[in-house]
Amino acid sequence: MNKDFWKSFTSTFSMLVIPVAFIASVLIFMFVFGNPANFQGGDPHNQPLPNNYYGVIYKGGFIVPIIMTTLITVLIFFIERFLTIRKAAGKGKVVTFMSQIKGLLDENNTSEAKSVCDAQKGAVASVVRSGLDKYEEMEASKEMNKDQKVAAIQKEVEEATSLELPGLEQNLVILATISSVATLLGLLGTVLGMIRAFSAMANAGAPDSVALATGISEALINTAFGIGTSALAIIFYNFFTTKIDKITYSIDEAGFMLVQSFSANHK
C-alpha cells in the first residue's frame, strides 16, 4: 500500500513540476527582474541601471522565463532523484549486506536473512526479499526438480528487478531532454535579441555602437542561461545514471548469489 501511494505521489509530482516551475518563473521575471527599480527612470521600457543584472536579464525577453522554467525543473528533479536514489541505496553498505545474506543462506537461515533485508531496506534488499520468499517456497516444494527450482528463483528475481528499476530511472528522461533543449532555447533567445537589436539600429538610421553593444549583451543573457542550465542537467543526469548503474549491478549480483546459494545448498 505504501509503495502504491508513493508511486502515485511521484507520478502526480512529476506532472505538476513543470507547470508550477513555469508559473514561478513568470512571476520572478515580471516582479523581480522586471521591477521598475532596476531601470532608469523607474520604467522597465528604459535601459537597466548600471551594473543592475536583474534589469539586464529582464531585457533578454520572453525566452528568459522559459529557460528559467527548465532551470527550476532541473533543480527540483535533482533534489527529488537524489532523495529517491539515496533511499533506494539502503541504510547500510551493500557489500556488508550481501555478505550477511550469503552467510545466513549457507546456514540455511532464511528467516533471519529476511529480517536483515527488512532492516537494510532499499532496492537491493527489496529484490533479495522477494527472492528469499521464492527461495523458501522452492525449499518446501516436492514437485519440482532442482533445475526448475533454480529457474523459478531466477525468474522471481528478474520480475522484482523489473519493478524496481523504473522507479529509479523515473524523470531522468526529463533531465536528458533539458540538457539539449536548454541550449537551443538560449540560442533562440539570442537570435531573437540580435534581430531586435539590428532592427532598432536600422530604424534609427546612423549606427550606434552603444545601442548595438547593449542589444548584444541583452541577447547573450539567453545563451548564458541556456548553456548553464544545460550543463547542470548533463552533470546531474550522468551523476544519477552512475548511481543507478551501481544499484543495478548490486541487484544482478544479489540475484546470482541467491541462485548459486540454492544450487550449492540443495541437491
Count the domains in the chain.
1
Report in angstroms the alpha-carbon separations of 152 from 42, 128, 131, 135. Answer: 74, 14, 9, 9
CB 131 within 8 A of CB 254: yes
pLDDT by residue, tens only, the chain of 267 residues = 455 555 666 667 778 899 999 999 999 999 999 999 999 889 888 888 888 889 888 888 889 999 999 999 999 999 999 998 998 888 888 889 989 998 998 888 888 999 999 999 899 999 999 999 998 888 888 888 888 888 999 999 999 998 888 888 888 999 999 999 999 999 998 888 888 777 767 765 555 666 666 677 777 888 999 999 999 999 999 999 999 999 999 999 988 998 888 888 776
- The neighbour count for residue 131, using CB atoms within 10 Å, is 29
Position 1 scores a pLDDT of 43
**CA terminus-to-terminus distance, the chain:** 38
The number of angstroms, rounded, from the C-alpha of 263 to the middle of its chain's C-alpha atoms is 39
Indicate the pTM of the whole model: 0.86
DSSP alpha helix (H) spans, the chain: 2-28, 53-58, 63-88, 94-106, 110-120, 122-140, 146-169, 172-204, 209-265
Position 167 scores a pLDDT of 84
Position 140 scores a pLDDT of 85
CB 247 within 8 A of CB 88: yes
| Domain encompassing residue 175 | 1-267
